[in-house]
A and B are shown apart, each in its own frame.
Chain A
Amino acid sequence: MEQQTVTEDHAPTSAASTMDQRPGLHVDIGQRRRAQHNEVHITLKDVTVKYGTFTAVRGVSLEVPRKEITALIGPSGCGKSTLLRTLNRMNDLVPTASVAGSVRYNGEDIYDADVDPVEVRRRIGMVFQKPNPFPKSIYDNVAFGPRLNGVKRELDDIVEKSLRRAALWDEVKDKLGQSGLSLSGGQQQRLCIARAIAVDPDVILMDEPCSALDPIATLRIEELMREMTSDYTIVIVTHNMQQAARVSDRTAFFTVDVDNPQQERSGVLVEVDDTETIFTQASDERTEAYITGRFG
């Protein structure tokens, strides 16, 4: 059973059971206190993102460790989704967007003039807020990325491996020809994860991947995410504090800052630390106020 495999890594007890029995403040975070993090995978240095003249995110410096889950949390409008999209240059698709500062992936600035954004997105995959399978068959959804790269022969293998990795294989192996839209919401989201995995990225960005899902489907995805850390670096944006606490190794707290001369509202990073530290002894009082406000 897929559920059992979760226990092998970081989350020995089911996160949901904790939540179910003791709703409210108590969340399971103790399992991921770490003395030492993995090496850095992505480094942001003084990143500022603007849409036209509006500054969405200002001066963010952040390090994302390899094969761990980093959660970006904060009130709405704090720019966490915007920041996530700068990590694989999805913001390039917004004509007015501009990025200052540096985003280094394996030490290489992804915004260098001679870097191809398409190659960046192939290495750094993305899962979106709303499940968005293509109106194609399940198989074609997963095969979409490999086909872009000209893969023809081992397609069946890749599709199966990706669906297994996304813990969806058993549910869909007999109906690969059916439309991706025929699946339930949670299954659709796991299909989107499988689709992202199929292009063999090593970082996966998740933009509130569970916000459109019910609690059971959410749990499924969270388990999957924990399990995926054996191979992938994951950065997740979530507005759900419990979720951040349950799944992430590190948490970065963002807030909306109006403290500048132009009276502009833009997102800033308040602090980043081990998830346990953030949730139990945050050093900045804004973080603490936000977290206790959310839980209390």
Chain B
Amino acid sequence: MTIDTQPRAVLDPEPQSLRETTRNARRRERFSKGMTFLLFGTVMAAIVPLVTLLTIVVVNGWPAINGEFFTQVEPLSYRDRGGGYLHGIVGTLYMTGIATLISAPLGLGAAVYLNERPGRYANIVRFFTDVMTGVPSVFVGLAVYALIVSGSGGFGLGFGTLAGAIALSIIMLPIVVRSSEEMLRLVPADLKAASYGLGARQWQTTFRVTLPAAAPGLTTGAILAVARGAGETAPLIMTALGARQVVTQLTGAPQSDVGLLMLGGFRQPFDAGIERAWAGGFTLIAIVLILSIVARAIARRSQL
């Protein structure tokens, strides 16, 4: 028999206890442990900067937060203490709000389209939506400037709230589309079939079954998009421009923004301006993190 050509004893000299491991196995196990520890190190490399960043923003920003910060505008000179970012906060909320009103319905409609009418066109739209999530926000700012703000695009709207809001909505749109599509996809086909089986039309099925079933997830996606919009500053340089007082007009006057005020403040060598910038950073982080926590809480409650 061929089995005998290699004597058993060579492979397995004597019965071995399972507790006795070979040197090679021990070495491999040690190496595995070491590498696992290294992986833990990489996690720390992400957590340490995050914790550091949050700590520093809180430590520097919290002392500068006071009633005045939310109720007054910034003094004319970065040397002067006091005053606040009221105009910036108003501008940020104003522009983010309008941007949400534009991007949420449009994005939701596109997502419903992708979900309800699959096919070549849907694939093209989905692909370019993905591409659009990667378009630099500063380019969006430039493009909105060229299209809408400057006269050459045919609109000549000028710097202001609406221009800034449109830029933000373009940044938020693909986020809303893709996150909504993911959520709509989770709605069981059973539910839609049941609705059609009862003689519901497509729009009735969408509004009465699909959207309500996906509502928590859709809200989550929309809130995350809002958080993203509220934290954007770069495109506002070319569209909102910045202002020194509270602006309520939709068009015709440049609008302010927390990020723009920070940018102006912390690049000047004056303590008062820098302190307000820290307070602004604290405010932005607070808004964005609260929004994301709310979004995740809603997502967890989703039944899908």
Contact flag (A, B; Cβ within 8 A): yes
Q: A: which residues have CB within 8 A of B?
A: 88, 90, 93, 95, 118-119, 121-122, 125-126, 128, 130, 132-136, 144-145, 147-149, 181, 192, 195-196, 199
B290 in the interface, Cβ–Cβ < 8 Å? no
Shortest CB–CB separation between residue B114 and chain A, in angstroms?
14
Apart from A132-B190, A145-B200, A196-B198: 10 A-B pairs, beta carbons within 8 A = A118-B201, A121-B198, A122-B199, A125-B198, A132-B188, A134-B195, A135-B191, A144-B198, A145-B199, A192-B194
In the complex, which residues of chain A have a beta carbon less than 8 angstroms from the beta carbon of B213?
134-135
Shortest CB–CB separation between residue A143 and chain B, in angstroms?
11
With A and B bound together, what is the CA distance between A119 and B201 in angstroms?
10
State whether A121 touches B191 (Cβ < 8 A).
Answer: no
With A and B bound together, what is the CA distance between A126 and B198 in angstroms?
7
Shortest CB–CB separation between residue B219 and chain A, in angstroms?
15
B118 in the interface, Cβ–Cβ < 8 Å? yes
B142 in the interface, Cβ–Cβ < 8 Å? no
For chain B, residues 151 to 165, give those with C-beta under 8 angstroms from any C-beta of chain A: none
For chain B, residues 177 to 210, give those with C-beta under 8 angstroms from any C-beta of chain A: 188, 190-201, 204, 208-209
State whether A128 touches B198 (Cβ < 8 A).
Answer: no
For chain B, residues 136 to 178, give those with C-beta under 8 angstroms from any C-beta of chain A: none
State whether B196 touches A95 (Cβ < 8 A).
Answer: no
Q: Which of A93, A147, A148 contacts B193 (CB 8 A)?
A: A93
B252 in the interface, Cβ–Cβ < 8 Å? no
State whether B193 touches A132 (Cβ < 8 A).
Answer: yes
State whether B197 touches A128 (Cβ < 8 A).
Answer: yes
Shortest CB–CB separation between residue A148 and chain B, in angstroms?
5
State the interface size on chain B (CB cutoff 8 A): 21
With A and B bound together, what is the CA distance between A89 and B195 in angstroms?
13
With A and B bound together, what is the CA distance between A294 and B259 in angstroms?
73
In the complex, which residues of chain A have a beta carbon less than 8 angstroms from the beta carbon of B196?
90, 93, 121
In the complex, which residues of chain B have a beta carbon less than 8 angstroms from the beta carbon of A148?
198-201, 204, 208
In the complex, which residues of chain A have a beta carbon less than 8 angstroms from the beta carbon of B204?
148
B49 in the interface, Cβ–Cβ < 8 Å? no
With A and B bound together, what is the CA distance between A218 and B118 in angstroms?
37
Chain B residue at minimal CB-CB distance from A179: B303
In the complex, which residues of chain B have a beta carbon less than 8 angstroms from the beta carbon of A144?
195, 198, 200, 208
In the complex, which residues of chain A have a beta carbon less than 8 angstroms from the beta carbon of B193?
90, 93, 126, 128, 132
Chain A residue at minimal CB-CB distance from B118: A95
B119 in the interface, Cβ–Cβ < 8 Å? yes
Q: Which of A119, A132, A192: most chain B Cβ within 10 A?
A: A132
With A and B bound together, what is the CA distance between A145 and B194 in angstroms?
10
If A136-B212, A144-B208, A148-B204 touch, does A195 touch B198 (CB 8 Å cutoff)?
Answer: yes
Shortest CB–CB separation between residue B291 and chain A, in angstroms?
26
State whether B197 touches A126 (Cβ < 8 A).
Answer: yes
In the complex, which residues of chain B have a beta carbon less than 8 angstroms from the beta carbon of A196?
197-198
Q: Which of B188, B197, B208, B303 contacts A121 (CB 8 A)?
A: B197
In the complex, which residues of chain A have a beta carbon less than 8 angstroms from the beta carbon of B192?
93
With A and B bound together, what is the CA distance between A101 and B208 in angstroms?
34
If A95-B119, A136-B212, A144-B208 touch, does A118 touch B197 (CB 8 Å cutoff)?
Answer: no
State whether B198 touches A134 (Cβ < 8 A).
Answer: no
Shortest CB–CB separation between residue B158 and chain A, in angstroms?
47
In the complex, which residues of chain B have a beta carbon less than 8 angstroms from the beta carbon of A121?
196-199
Shortest CB–CB separation between residue B97 and chain A, in angstroms?
30
In the complex, which residues of chain A have a beta carbon less than 8 angstroms from the beta carbon of B199?
118-119, 121-122, 145, 148-149, 199
With A and B bound together, what is the CA distance between A155 and B155 in angstroms?
52
State whether B197 touches A134 (Cβ < 8 A).
Answer: no
With A and B bound together, what is the CA distance between A94 and B303 in angstroms?
26
State whether B198 touches A199 (Cβ < 8 A).
Answer: yes
Chain A residue at minimal CB-CB distance from B208: A144
Closest 4 CB pairs of A and B: A122-B199, A126-B197, A132-B190, A145-B198
In the complex, which residues of chain A have a beta carbon less than 8 angstroms from the beta carbon of B191?
132, 134-135
With A and B bound together, what is the CA distance between A133 and B188 in angstroms?
11
In the complex, which residues of chain B have a beta carbon less than 8 angstroms from the beta carbon of A125?
197-198
State whether B197 touches A88 (Cβ < 8 A).
Answer: yes
Shortest CB–CB separation between residue A200 and chain B, in angstroms?
10
Shortest CB–CB separation between residue B76 and chain A, in angstroms?
57
With A and B bound together, what is the CA distance between A122 and B188 in angstroms?
22
State whether B194 touches A132 (Cβ < 8 A).
Answer: yes
In the complex, which residues of chain A have a beta carbon less than 8 angstroms from the beta carbon of B119?
95
Shortest CB–CB separation between residue B215 and chain A, in angstroms?
10
Shortest CB–CB separation between residue B188 and chain A, in angstroms?
7
Chain B residue at minimal CB-CB distance from A136: B212
Chain B residue at minimal CB-CB distance from A122: B199
Shortest CB–CB separation between residue A138 and chain B, in angstroms?
14
Q: Which of A93, A95, A195: most chain B Cβ within 10 A?
A: A93
Chain A residue at minimal CB-CB distance from B215: A135
With A and B bound together, what is the CA distance between A126 and B190 in angstroms?
12
In the complex, which residues of chain B have a beta carbon less than 8 angstroms from the beta carbon of A195?
194, 198
Q: Which of B196, B209, B212: most chain A Cβ within 10 A?
A: B196
Shortest CB–CB separation between residue A209 and chain B, in angstroms?
12
